[in-house]
Amino acid sequence: MIVAERKPLEEILESIKKYNKILILGCRGCVTVCSVGGEKEVSKLAEEMKLAREKEGRPIEILEKTLIRQCEVKYLEPLEEFKNKVEAVISLGCGVGINLIADLYPEVRIYPGVNTTFYGAKVEKGHWIEKCKGCGDCIIGKTAGLCPITRCAKNLLNGPCGGSQNGRCEIREDLPCVWHQIIERLKERGELEKLTEIWEPKDWRPAGGEGVREMIRK
């Protein structure tokens, strides 16, 4: 899932400081699961913003709406009823949603209320860990299911660096060296010879090296 975190209140207030009537737009997708962009979070942000503006002596009117998803065109139709009623929109959806809205409604002044951070797995309540970079050319079939692009702080593809010690990363002591993990797992499987194979240099074009990516399913 896409993991995000809410922007600081001060940054959000600064982005809409010249407006007096706005819409806060939530999303019931990934950002609801990670508790930053669902209905509860929309209402919470609205209250925080109203209180802050009242303290400044500049009250603000805030409308609230949470869509099924902001990343699909068909679910954006409810915006039609709001686009002429407000001066600006704060989106609590991920970067995909806010970009789609900006494309479809160029007349709407839309501002992000969250920072999109990574593709992560929920490992326990309130805890997500990055698992994928979305590079467009998955290689974990060669590395025992462990992604060095995501998990190696240096994104190394040719084995561990000289700085890792006792299975730990030299950049972050709390981070396991993924290449140590890969080697140990391949040893356990009796497949260590996989690391003697010569890999072609990674083609970074599928990762966005040629600009915006798209997929058309026929």
What pLDDT is stored for residue 61 in this prediction?
A: 98
CA distances from 119 to 1, 2, 3 (A): 5, 5, 6
Beta-bridge mates of residue 89: 23, 110
Write out pLDDT tens, residues 128-163. Answer: 999 999 988 888 989 999 999 999 999 999 999 999
Q: 90, 22 in Cβ contact below 8 A?
A: yes
CATH number of this structure's domain 2-118, picked from the four choices 3.30.70.120, 3.30.70.100, 3.20.20.100, 3.40.50.2300 = 3.40.50.2300
- Helix, strand, or coil here: 71? coil
Q: 158, 142 in Cβ contact below 8 A?
A: no
What pLDDT is stored for residue 188 in this prediction?
A: 94
Residue ranges per domain, the chain?
2-118, 133-207
Nearest to 167 by CA among 182, 157, 189, 155: 182
pLDDT along the chain (218 residues), means of 10: 94 97 97 95 98 97 97 94 94 94 93 93 89 90 92 92 92 94 95 90 83 80
